[in-house]
Chains A and B, each alone.
Chain A
């Protein structure tokens, strides 16, 4: 099944390739549980492309950077959830719709390879055969059969995007449908909110005491386009000290939250790349939850929509101003 899908993608990519200068897609990774992003500049290299359940990376991360580096159009292989990030970039006029050719692939859910390796106790994997029901892996400790449903990426459990919504320039249909069991999107947010303020503060202090400020979360984010011009690197005004202490680490994350308010598409890349496994996505989800209740806006769904914090209404229906008198 996966082979047939890959073949269709390569065929469609070939059709699209005449219009683009570089094509970003997935290729085989360094081990059987990983895929790696690849950038194809020659048509004959298109057969490197693959697509399977392990394609968890969000290639929209490269959309802005590629569009600045390349003179012509860029092409990208995207899952519907990745296309959301590109849509958001387009709606903010950060990239040009016409210069970005999207090859959207219908998605049946992606697997989190970190969950699989954790389950296997970090044993070396020689081969993996991923089916819709089971995953057969051959490790240094022998053959094992795992249930696919246990290893879906978190975002797949609350995915509600219908494939056609994300249109793109070319759409490749996937015969398989999403099988990840449904979970509440705000489960972890609600759990944290049950605690009282001191406990919440202690929780974040504990989380951010692990942070090493590698900035991987910022660098991987498809919507944080400022990258090296980030305000944390400024000397004047000195937004952030160089100290790696929980309060400063938390403040760095708050900068991200505020800069992504009403923009974050919850692709979960920040949490995935975090080497210290800090629960960053909760922070983003909480802000998104508020933006949804206050302004009834979901990022990345509509290219025409104006981002909620870049516009206003003279009378806000959902804002109740407090009177201190």
Chain B
């Protein structure tokens, strides 16, 4: 990155999003089909289940320079694999509280539940998350 780029105020936030195949990925797709306006800062990675997400994925993303990481899966009790998101919740909560200790603002990370039909909710989640990241940057 050149010095000029660093100084430029309009730095675009780069956000890595991990979405579960069955709910959130379909939910974001629904938001797209319904032509809901949403920020373009996300780089979406589709995973089979939020339980597939290793906390190290998140840490690796941060260490490679992501400005924010968003994880989204099915609502509790709605997991396609019955209990993947329950495990994910425990891991990601432990991770989230740990981030400040290694010098990462915990507002740069969030995990959310969005189902396949909740295009509107997805739009709000993304908009608010990007807003929050931009306020930190």
Contact = CB atoms under 8 A, between A and B. Distances in A.
Interface of A: 189, 192-193, 197-198, 200-204, 239, 247-248, 250-251, 254-255, 257-258, 261-262, 283, 286-287, 290-291, 294-295, 308-309, 312-314, 316, 319, 321-322, 324-325
Nearest to A287: B98
Given A200-B100, A204-B103, A324-B128, 9 more contacts: A202-B103, A255-B56, A261-B91, A287-B94, A294-B90, A309-B87, A319-B89, A324-B132, A325-B121
B103 A308 contact: no
Interface stretch (B3-11, B22-30, B33-41, B104-112): B104-112
Nearest to A295: B90
7 contacts: A197-B103, A248-B63, A250-B102, A251-B59, A294-B94, A321-B113, A324-B112
Chain B residues touching A, majority SS: helix
Interface in B71-85: 76-77, 83
Contacts of A204: 102-103
B125 interface: yes
A193 B102 CA distance: 10
A291 B55 CA distance: 15
A78 B98 CA distance: 32
Interface string B8-23: 0000000000000000
A239 B56 CA distance: 9
Contacts of B128: 324-325
B17 to A, nearest CB: 12
B90 A312 contact: yes
Nearest to A189: B101
B60 A251 contact: yes
Nearest to B91: A309
A251 B103 CA distance: 13
Given A254-B56, A295-B90, A325 B124 contact: yes
A203 B101 CA distance: 11
B77 A197 contact: no
A283 B100 CA distance: 12
Contacts of B102: 200-201, 204, 250, 254, 283
A301 B97 CA distance: 24
A16 B97 CA distance: 46
A258 B90 contact: no
B124 A324 contact: yes
Given A200-B102, A312-B89, A314-B86, A325 B125 contact: yes
Contacts of A313: 86
B98 A290 contact: yes
Given A197-B104, A322-B110, A325-B128, A261 B94 contact: yes
Interface string B111-137: 111000000010011001100100000
Contact of B77 (A200, A203, A261, A314): A314
A258 B100 contact: no
B90 A309 contact: yes
A229 to B, nearest CB: 16
A193 B100 contact: yes
A246 B34 CA distance: 45
